[in-house]
Amino acid sequence: SLVTVGARPAMGKTAFALNLALQTSKNYEVLYVNLEMSNVQIMQRFLSIKTGVELNKIKNKKLTDEELTRINFAVGDLQKSKFKSMSCEDNNDFNFIVRKIKKQHEKNRLKVVIIDYLTLMTASGFQSKNYEVEYMANRLKLFATELNCCIVVLAQLNRAVETRGADKRPLLADLRDSGGIEQASNVVAFLHREDYYQKNVVKAKDFSEIEFIIRKNRSGELGTVRLGFDKKIQ
């Protein structure tokens, strides 16, 4: 199946996807395809999630001996786990990425592929971004069937969300560049944080409630799941 998770920039898409990858890799082979960050940056985030050591401390190498020990153990756990990361920040060509995923699948029989994120990929030969995105979404749906796995793709939302009234929870129409994403996806969900829009309100800097809003679901119900988001450790 193809699952699309949409959100505005800096809402917490990557943090959500990394947590999803870590949890899923306890039982299944997972490939995390990243088009925005290097493997080092992804590893730093993972180590923060796994150890509870603040991400800034890991980035700036300001660690106590005890924290360093926790990180060493976590690195060992990650190497033994069913999680694989693939950085494509230097080549975002859609067909190139599909070929790389296929190679990984031949080695590891992937069950879940997470792509961060859709519109960073490019496919040549299309007159508009809309057609290009629609082609990639349809191709990913077929690809999920071909590999017999679940592909989770992150997607940006357009700016219309920002101009809406009091309730800024995303709708299907907010998916950027294409209604084709909605058509191809088995599930479409959105991430929403109220504090993201409360610019003038004093808020808890490090902790936030994030809503996972399911707007389309071919094999289940719609609804909202509320999650806690600890920003310090992602």
Please give the DSSP secondary-structure letter assigned to residue 89.
T
User: d(Cα 109, Cα 148) in Å, to the nearest integer?
Assistant: 9
User: d(Cα 48, Cα 57) in Å, to the nearest integer?
Assistant: 9
Q: Which residues contact 117 (CB under 8 A, 6 or more apart)?
A: 13, 35, 36, 153, 154, 155, 156
Which residue out of 36, 67, 182, 211 is catalytically annotated? 36
User: d(Cα 26, Cα 210) in Å, to the nearest integer?
Assistant: 23
Instruction: Tell me if 160 sits within 8 A of 174, measured CB to CB.
Output: yes
Active site residue 66: no
Minimal CA–CA distance to 7: which of 85, 138, 165, 117? 117
Instruction: Tell me if 83 sits within 8 A of 28, measured CB to CB.
Output: no
Indicate which residues carry an active-site annotation: 36
